[in-house]
Amino acid sequence: MNSESRVLPELRPVLAQFPGFQLEENLELSRSYLSGPPIEKSEHVHTTSRMIPSVAGEILVKVYEPAQRTDAKLPAMLWIHGGGYVMGHPDMDDALCERFVQAAKCVVVSVDYRLAPEHPYPAAIDDCYASLTWMTGEAELLGIDLDRIAIAGASGGGGLTAALALMVRDKGGPALVFQMPLYPMIDDRNITASSHEITADNTTWNRTNNLAAWNMYLGDRTEDSEVSPHAVPSRAESLAGLPPTYTCVGQLDLFRDETIEYVARLAQAGIDVEFHLYPGTFHSFEGMVPQAEVSQRASQSYVDAIARALNP
């Protein structure tokens, strides 16, 4: 039975209309698929954009916070958008970031990191680390509680979340209480069963896309060149010392097996981890078909996880 026939009926119509990404043939067209119409902003959330310093000059971050704030310090989360390291922009997650603010009563900083292939590794992770250190360094200005800092992201952003958690551990800070790499892109080797299963052109992320995106992100390298776990988190020798973790993945997602392996390794390293596997769902299903029951259940679960972690 092929994976397409196993997709839940409520998700099939949208998948049937999706043209599929063509990263090598037309990257700009593929990037345009992720820029949806602007959302109607919530009156309960105040959003500002600002430029902050990074390794190669200034980068954009968007800051979301409750519109009605008191002097009380709030927990904070760095959000890292998806797009396979080669696509995406913070604007595409405005609604989700507003939802996090309201559910967790927190400040969210969303980073516009540099994209490959124009800016291969380590540009993206450098920008994410710079955003985290800016956020914690400006704790007084932002009114945030340094004892309640989390990082999160989805897909490529989930991969950067996992990489950032490793980088923070290896550099000795800033301190994190939680990480949430959702269906993360964390293994460039493409040797798992699920990486061979998901090959259809019209799915949201297939083997062809994954191979192309990793090549764009990692740039020129030889077969035996050593790859940093800050680039490819699955290559980390140890996951000890990472913060408590939440993750999820669809059973028909190319990243299924690397996510399951990551969860198992976290548990074996003594890290508290919550994991959800959703049958009949493909990569980024809850973003593609947000009105579906399974999508609402999945997104509510991870929104609740952030709220619990930041408000223990």
Task: Point out the least confidently predicted range of 21-30, 41-50, 218-227.
Answer: 218-227
Contact 311, 104 (CB under 8 A): yes
Residues 267-283: what's their mean pLDDT? 98
Cβ proximity of 294 and 12 under 8 Å:
no
Mean pLDDT of the chain: 96
223 has a pLDDT exceeding 80: no
| Spatial CB neighbours of 193, under 8 Å, sequence gap ≥ 6 | 257
pLDDT at 28: 96
Are residues 282 and 15 in contact, defined by beta-carbon separation less than 8 angstroms? yes
Q: Whole-model pTM? A: 0.97
Q: Is 253 a catalytic residue?
A: yes
- How far apart are the two ends of the chain, measured CA to CA in Å? 44
d(CA 293, CA 281): 12
Q: Is residue 39 part of a domain?
A: yes
The active-site residue out of 112, 127, 188, 253 is 253
Residue 3 has pLDDT above 80, yes or no: no
In a domain, 142, yes or no: yes
Tokens matching residue 281: 């769902």
Of 211, 210, 103, 229, nearest to 165 (Cα)? 229
Assigned token pair, 165: 């958690």
Domain count, the chain: 1
Strand partners, 74: 144
Within a domain: residue 224?
Answer: no
Is 223 contained in some domain? Answer: no
* 174: in domain: yes
The 10s digit of each residue's pLDDT in 78-107 is: 999 999 999 999 999 999 999 999 999 999
**CB-CB neighbours of 100 under 10 Å:** 25
DSSP 8-state symbol, 212? H
Domain CATH for 280 = 3.40.50.1820
User: Is residue 287 one of the residues assigned to a domain?
Assistant: yes
Does residue 155 have an active-site annotation? yes
Strand partners, 278: 250
- Long-range (24+ apart) CB contacts under 8 A made by 50-55 are 52/130, 52/131, 52/134, 53/130, 53/134, 54/126, 54/127, 54/130, 54/131, 55/123, 55/126, 55/127, 55/130
- Please say if 283 is a catalytic residue: yes
Give the model's pLDDT for residue 222. Answer: 58
pLDDT at 228 over 60: yes
Q: What is the pLDDT of residues 56-75, one digit of tens each?
A: 899 999 999 999 999 999 99
Q: Answer whether residue 96 is part of any domain.
A: yes
**What local confidence, expressed as pLDDT, does residue 46 receive?**
97
Does residue 95 lie within any of the structural domains? yes
Q: Give me the residue label for tokens 């897909």.
A: 155
Q: Which of 81, 119, 230, 283 is catalytic?
A: 283
The single residue of 155, 194, 195, 284 carrying the catalytic annotation is: 155
Confidence label for 224 from pLDDT (cuts 50, 70 and 90): low
Residue 180: name the closest of 106, 121, 251 by CA.
106
Sign, CA torsion 161/254/215/221:
positive
Enumerate residues 6+ apart whose C-beta is below 8 A from 247.
Answer: 158, 180, 181, 182, 183, 184, 259, 262, 263, 273, 274, 275, 276
Domain extent at residue 123: 4-218+230-310
